[in-house]
Structure 1
């Protein structure tokens, strides 16, 4: 029996071996094709990225060329181009004195691509065999590409290593145009000449990484498929071997063998039917709509999801053109895609997914996702499409976009609301603080009156800080920034001022207030003094607010980081009520207060949030730890620069009160344009008391008329006024020849950035935000007019040294009239007489007017007698 069965077994082994080889070839071939296709796709994507970058650079260059280049502010990074020295107007100065330099297209593209390369890794430049700037000299590959352009080539593409990393390099020619002559005409180029090319280098690393991952997945997948096939072949081999042996052994019982074979055939048929049924079930139960189309665009098969998606039955679809499922205006494009692919077997749509429009049986169109795969069986081509409805996704995207727009509108509305509220609060606050400062200038107030004015001033400043807190947190929430104002100041003085501020509060609550310096502190440092002061006030204020007994300690320590920089560590410790642990992580959020904090008055919930933002802005961090019932510790650190230790720190005359104009100056004419009576009265009286000649207007139109009639040296211009606002008034004045030389400083309780930009575009010379201090106001006048002031304590101050004898030169008849009117307590008569004494020292006249307005007639008599 064995000699008979051996040839059969041998043939089975041969067939099995052939099957293994064929199966392996199919798997390896398919794997190779997929790997090759993945690499090709990576190459095509990289090339497309290079082409997109080229188009972007070309559009930018053409735009710049059509405008003759662009002018920018010269900086260390973008200095005037020495290679454009031959170009007229390379460097210009604007009417406002701003210096600009010309950037030709090549210069602009080079700077732009330098930043673009740092951000995204894509390199690029404009180059040629003859270049204006040596930095644009081509490398060997670019030289070869330019030479190929001269021979008619339209593009050069190659993958090369740059600095040890693979890049796809693409270069296209650049021809001499009329707009290029301005910068490159002197190099010998004529219009139409090949001037060089635009080179783009796209890093291949991201694409190769994706390809590598995809190849690993393909290898794993095809390994599983290959092993599964081998198992199947082995199974068939084993079964065939057994079948042959059994057949040989059963030759004598052929009938029973036939019955057995028929039984087995039935089983195999059933297995095949089950496999086919399973495959059909997979397709049928797939959540994706799956459709198969032949090269004639006829539908070969469709699963139930297709019926649900489009509303047609399977019978209505099979054999019909797939264009039935596409809107009429898209059908021609769809046919072109298939025709083109059948001719070239290349299409960016095959093997990838995209969003298209489908048409339902009832005629309505809807968005759907379509992924197409191509299969070729002999001479026939089949396209399998997997689809799903995108209606919900598109609607969700629309709603998300709508929600985003609504959120942006709400944020903008909030910003404008806060700005308007700021204006409404700052306007009366300007009058309160302004008249407080005027009253504080009166040397004849007693100590109680001065204390009362100090309380009013401090309360007003506290209200201003609260307004600024709200605006700062609004900027932070809107994604904006709060500026850091660096300046040098005496750290010891700042700490002492803060200590003095809270010492009275500590005494009133019978608390012990300690200041501990763990090591010697630098005296003069450079950072934002105002923000550091506000941080300390916020944290100490909270400590005293929530501490009813015990002590509050301010601990300061300095840590040297380098020769010129230190790290300052602050800790505010208290023995107050403490904070629950679950509240600690939220206390730095805006408007968040603990239960105990909400029960306390005068709290906004902004102090800790703003303090943290300021500390982070100053390069530091803040933390808090607390034990309920025992107290809290807030610690923060900031980086500071050690400044020059000057003995004059904080002692300059600019920090002292201004009491008048310095002698030997021309009479300055000042026009105040302000509709709010309180603000106007304060500003007019303040300027008159200092010695300026002042006129006032209640709206912009009257201000323009007074400007033409009086020709003032400086105009204080409010922006929001009836009849004519400040914007239009500034515009009309600056349109005149005289107005161009007249200083205009805007006054506004609005603090929005776009408002400031608008007034400066109109030609305004300065901006002062309400409420302002007299120091800010006088500093602005000194800056723009060059006016000099006398300060308290000046050795050469005429007011500091004057005695009653200094007024003996007043005409006797006028002095008698003034004394008589003062004796009668006639305020109006006294002021009218003083208006006739313009030849006398204007500063002393201002002092006398202040006494009369405050009904200090006894002091007037003492100065005149």
Structure 2
């Protein structure tokens, strides 16, 4: 008897159903958790079923999947610009039976679009007809965003490169050879499609053939140094273009090295710097021309210095001789000293105007010291009084209690500035007018020196032009002489002395210019008085009691007569003259004088050559030689001192200075 089995078919079927539900639930959780969107398209009924986490992230619920269940409804949610392309991809898939792989934008529940990628395949039924297409969607929005950013970055780099007009080149060790951009070949005058570039030859060789032969070693060395890791690749070299024109290129690049230190790739650029190089050549040419012009200017200034000093030598030299005459009246002595002071002032101006170093540097040095303002005003009045008298202009000063006030200034520059203001006040005044100089104390220990005139004044709309160089405010149309630079120079001089120059003016009333300068309160009054004492014109004493022979080598008759008259005042000295260089050498050897005074500009042989000859001669090498020349530029003085002169004096000769040097030379 067979026992009844415990097998129950209904129970087994129930277990299978439960197992199937569990499996379906697990797959559903996997689908939803994966972030993918799953779908199935019945190609016969056009029904679409879809599910998965992808759709949920787009905002669609289970209810939406039930309503949007046709292919047409799904297609309407694809971006209009992508619908044709996705349909082409589907038709191509069905025709070729290759898996479907496409990208498009799909609409979210909120109405915007995200990028998705679709992958699908199709199941074929009876008669080999497509029956069901199944696939998966996933979000690639971030990937598309990155791609867009990369494209924008690439486009930006391309725009930058195109804007710079630089050629780009690259080298890869695993690919062999160089790649040059189209712009590189344009620099040489080629089109990238020219036959010479498409014959299969290594393009680096083609490029090297265009490098100027003398620059090829420099190019190769720079590249080798960089690939060896020892230096940057940055080299300027010339290339010969297709037309034969020579152009300049600046090549720069950087290599990438592997772990063993070998270069694996290198990228760089070629910049056309031809115009820069041509500009540099023009600058160098202009610099050479400027240097030649500067040398010509120096020669001109040196010559002018010599020519101006020669007549001044006579003027100042002979006025000094009057100091030795005891039969002049007091008034005559005063007049002579005024002439001498005027000459010395002119000499000082010449010194500064012709000082090449000062002109080239664009600035003029000042020597600040305590200056007694009232004394400067008095001296300036002496200069301009004849000019004022000619126009019937009353010239006076209002000093109040500032007669003994000192300012910190450069005496010569201060006098030059005040003279220019006084001269302008007289020139632009009316006939019978007046010019007043007034002193007023200002805050912060400043003294104001005002020059007031009663002229026609400066129109208000043109007062801003007063300190413009070469602008004479229409005075060039009058008979008043001037260059239009005096006030500009005056302002610069005042500011160099840490002062200030300004003005006020009213038409038909007059103009007032004033100079503000710091007072000299910080100086000791005793020292101030000492500094500002009158120049001592007392003839210098010769401190020797023996007879001395002096040889003077000079070709200018006026200068010879001047020194003859000077030496006639000193009986201890006998002067012998040699009017040309060879005679001077002969007399030096034969007379063996106690000292020689030697001019520099001599005919046939200059003073330096004479000095050299005398220094090499055993008979004359110990004789002190004093240079005396109208060559008074700074470099002339420096050259004279370096050449071996005992001293180098400049014309116009200062008698006291010359006697002082002779005292040093002749005192035993």
Interval containing the TM-score (normalised by the shorter chain)? 0.5 to 0.7
Q: How far, CA to CA, are the matches of 1:380 and 1:356 in structure 2?
A: 23
Q: How far, CA to CA, are the matches of 2:28 and 2:86 in structure 1?
A: 18
Would the aligned equivalents of 1:290 and 1:305 in 2 still touch at CA under 8 Å?
yes
1:676 aligns with 2:559: no
Higher relative contact order (CA 8 A, sep 6+): 2
Name the TM-score, length of structure 1 as normaliser: 0.53
1:309 aligns with 2:187: yes
Q: 1:340 to 1:432 in 2, by over 3 A?
A: closer
> After the TM superposition, which residues 6-45 of structure 1 pair with which residues of structure 2 at under 5 Å, given as runs?
10-12=33-35
Q: Which runs of 5+ in 1 are unaligned?
A: 15-236, 788-865
- 2:626 maps to which of 725, 745, 770: 745
Give the match's secondary structure for 2:631.
coil
> After the TM superposition, which residues 332-731 of structure 1 pair with which residues of structure 2 at under 5 Å, given as runs?
348-349=231-232, 354-361=235-242, 365-372=246-253, 381-438=264-321, 442=325, 464=347, 467-468=350-351, 470-471=353-354, 475-479=357-361, 482-485=364-367, 491-503=373-385, 505-517=387-399, 520=402, 528-548=410-430, 549-557=432-440, 567-579=446-458, 593-596=472-475, 599=478, 603=482, 607-639=486-518, 640=520, 642-645=523-526, 649=530, 655-658=536-539, 665-691=545-571, 692-731=573-612
Give the match's secondary structure for 1:515.
strand
Q: Where does residue 167 of structure 1 map in the other structure? A: none
Would the aligned equivalents of 2:169 and 2:269 in 1 still touch at CA under 8 Å?
yes
Give the match's secondary structure for 1:772.
coil
Q: 1:608 to 1:698 in 2, by over 3 A?
A: farther
- Give the drift of 1:390: 0.9
Would the aligned equivalents of 1:523 and 1:645 in 2 still touch at CA under 8 Å?
no
Q: How far, CA to CA, are the matches of 2:533 and 2:103 in structure 1?
A: 111
Q: How far, CA to CA, are the matches of 1:738 and 1:522 in structure 2?
A: 58
1:288 aligns with 2:166: yes
- Give the drift of 1:422: 2.2
- Give the drift of 1:471: 1.8
- Give the drift of 1:420: 0.6
Would the aligned equivalents of 1:9 and 1:241 in 2 still touch at CA under 8 Å?
no
Q: How far, CA to CA, are the matches of 1:340 and 1:711 in structure 2?
A: 71
* Residues 775-811 of structure 1, C-alpha deviations (whole Å, 9 max, x = no match): 4444544565569xxxxxxxxxxxxxxxxxxxxxxxx
Give the match's secondary structure for 2:513.
strand
- Give the drift of 1:760: 1.0
Q: Where does residue 845 of structure 1 map in the other structure? A: none
Would the aligned equivalents of 1:700 and 1:723 in 2 still touch at CA under 8 Å?
yes
- Give the drift of 1:702: 2.1
Q: How far, CA to CA, are the matches of 1:278 and 1:646 in structure 2?
A: 79
Range 383-392 or range 448-457, more displaced: 448-457
Would the aligned equivalents of 2:179 and 2:203 in 1 still touch at CA under 8 Å?
no
Q: How far, CA to CA, are the matches of 2:467 and 2:383 in structure 1?
A: 24
Q: 1:284 to 1:704 in 2, by over 3 A?
A: closer
Q: Where does residue 111 of structure 2 map in the other structure? A: none
Structure with the largest fraction of helix: 1
Give the match's secondary structure for 2:626.
strand
Give the match's secondary structure for 1:494.
helix
Name the TM-score, length of structure 2 as normaliser: 0.66
Q: 1:528 to 1:652 in 2, by over 3 A?
A: closer
Q: How far, CA to CA, are the matches of 2:376 and 2:617 in structure 1?
A: 48
* Residues 49-84 of structure 1, C-alpha deviations (whole Å, 9 max, x = no match): xxxxxxxxxxxxxxxxxxxxxxxxxxxxxxxxxxxx
Would the aligned equivalents of 2:225 and 2:231 in 1 still touch at CA under 8 Å?
no
Q: How far, CA to CA, are the matches of 1:452 and 1:492 in structure 2?
A: 20
Give the match's secondary structure for 2:361.
coil
Q: How far, CA to CA, are the matches of 2:369 and 2:265 in structure 1?
A: 75
Q: 1:648 to 1:263 in 2, by over 3 A?
A: closer
Range 412-421 or range 519-528, more displaced: 519-528
* Residues 393-429 of structure 1, C-alpha deviations (whole Å, 9 max, x = no match): 1111111121122122212211221221221232233
* Residues 82-131 of structure 1, C-alpha deviations (whole Å, 9 max, x = no match): xxxxxxxxxxxxxxxxxxxxxxxxxxxxxxxxxxxxxxxxxxxxxxxxxx
* Residues 589-609 of structure 1, C-alpha deviations (whole Å, 9 max, x = no match): 766655326845664555444
Range 489-498 or range 675-684, more displaced: 489-498
> Superposition RMSD on alpha carbons, in Å?
5.1
> After the TM superposition, which residues 151-170 of structure 1 pair with which residues of structure 2 at under 5 Å, given as runs?
none
- Give the drift of 1:675: 0.5
- Give the drift of 1:770: 2.1
Would the aligned equivalents of 2:168 and 2:180 in 1 still touch at CA under 8 Å?
yes
Q: 1:260 to 1:414 in 2, by over 3 A?
A: closer
- Give the drift of 1:383: 3.7
Q: How far, CA to CA, are the matches of 2:331 and 2:585 in structure 1?
A: 44
Q: How far, CA to CA, are the matches of 1:780 and 1:600 in structure 2?
A: 49
Q: For the pair shown, which has the larger CA radius of gyration, 1 or 2?
A: 2
* Residues 615-663 of structure 1, C-alpha deviations (whole Å, 9 max, x = no match): 34433343344445443333334454524427984899972443x8579
Q: Which runs of 5+ in 2 are unaligned?
A: 1-23, 38-53, 76-82, 90-101, 106-114, 116-143
Q: 1:330 to 1:755 in 2, by over 3 A?
A: closer
Q: 1:785 to 1:469 in 2, by over 3 A?
A: same
Q: 1:504 to 1:364 in 2, by over 3 A?
A: closer
